[in-house]
């Protein structure tokens, strides 16, 4: 297991985090403002780290623990995943659900997901019930009417000021919303101490609050969902919150 070491450095009243993940140290500039945020849709040919590190194994049908663990906690039988990236979770869910759709915004990741699905089908895996789409859920909220569960893994904080628009558009047929945050970003939230300081510690500013367990619980409750499962972040796992529609 790769050891994660987090060092907090204080200078000029601003806290910064340097993460040593055994591969590459992220550069942090002490003082001043954090680096500019690059919108998700403009990130080009970048893979998710978990996929990049395990790409060969995944294309051979070996699903890493992270995806299996998340899939085991997703409720419902008809699942829509937004921000599905390279499609690993959606395709993994397809092997245990009735109907799955993975929706991805970026060309590169969507194309990779299609290649992965073709590879798994050629290997005899039953993933024909998984549809992969390229698009923006905010532009196509009508897609949600065919599903009972909405899944978003490391996604909602990227929506920034549009995050509440997503939850306002979730139709009544969606019984469950499954959110997975980001343990590193949650760490930044804890270091900041209050929402006003988040713009000093992360380029996403106050929106990284929705990467935290507390932030995900709050947004679900504010939009008519009761919390039925809530998992704290660990060294290996991101925080997870599952909401059920309040009736």
CB 179, CB 202: distance < 8 Å: no
DSSP code of residue 25: B
Beta-carbon count within 10 A of 85 CB: 26
Domain boundaries, the chain: 1-32, 46-245
What is d(CA 129, CA 101) in angstroms, rounded to the nearest whole number?
8
> Nearest to residue 241, comparing CAs of 209, 219, 223?
219
Low-confidence ranges of the chain (pLDDT < 50): 1-38, 40-41, 43-45
pTM of the model: 0.81
Spatial separation of the C-alpha atoms in residues 34 and 46, rounded to whole Å: 21
Which secondary-structure segment (H or E) carries 67? Answer: helix 65-73
189-210: pLDDT as tens digits: 887 766 666 666 667 788 899 9
- Report pLDDT for 29: 33
Torsion of CA 3, 38, 202, 161, to 10 degrees: -130
214-233 pLDDT tens trace: 999 999 999 999 999 999 99
Question: For residue 191, what pLDDT is reported?
Answer: 78
The architecture CATH gives domain 46-245: 3-Layer(aba) Sandwich (3.40)
Contact 148, 103 (CB under 8 A): no
- How crowded is residue 180: how many other Cβ atoms within 10 Å of its Cβ? 26
Determine how many CB atoms are found less than 10 A away from the CB of residue 88: 27
């Amino acid at each position: 297991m790769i050891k994660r070491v987090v060092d907090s450095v204080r200078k000029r009243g601003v806290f910064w985090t340097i993460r040593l993940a055994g591969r590459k140290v992220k550069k942090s500039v002490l003082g001043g403002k954090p680096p500019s945020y690059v919108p998700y849709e403009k990130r080009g040919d970048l893979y998710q780290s978990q996929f990049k590190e395990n790409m060969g194994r995944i294309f051979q049908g070996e699903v890493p623990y992270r995806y299996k663990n998340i899939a085991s906690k997703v409720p419902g039988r008809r699942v829509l995943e937004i921000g599905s990236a390279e499609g690993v979770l959606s395709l993994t869910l397809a092997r245990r659900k009735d109907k799955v759709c993975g929706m991805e915004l970026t060309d590169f990741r969507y194309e990779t997901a299609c290649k992965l699905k073709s590879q798994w089908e050629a290997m005899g895996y039953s993933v024909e019930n998984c549809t992969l789409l390229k698009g923006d859920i905010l532009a196509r909220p009508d897609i949600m009417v065919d599903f009972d569960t909405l899944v978003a893994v490391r996604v909602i904080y990227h929506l920034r000021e549009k995050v509440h628009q997503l939850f306002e558009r979730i139709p009544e047929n969606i019984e469950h919303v499954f959110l997975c945050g980001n343990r590193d970003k949650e760490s930044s939230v804890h270091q900041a101490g209050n929402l006003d300081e988040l713009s000093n510690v992360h380029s996403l500013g106050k929106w990284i609050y929705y990467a935290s367990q507390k932030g995900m619980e709050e947004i679900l409750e504010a939009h008519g969902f009761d919390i039925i499962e809530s998992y704290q972040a660990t060294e290996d796992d991101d925080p997870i919150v599952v909401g059920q529609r309040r009736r």
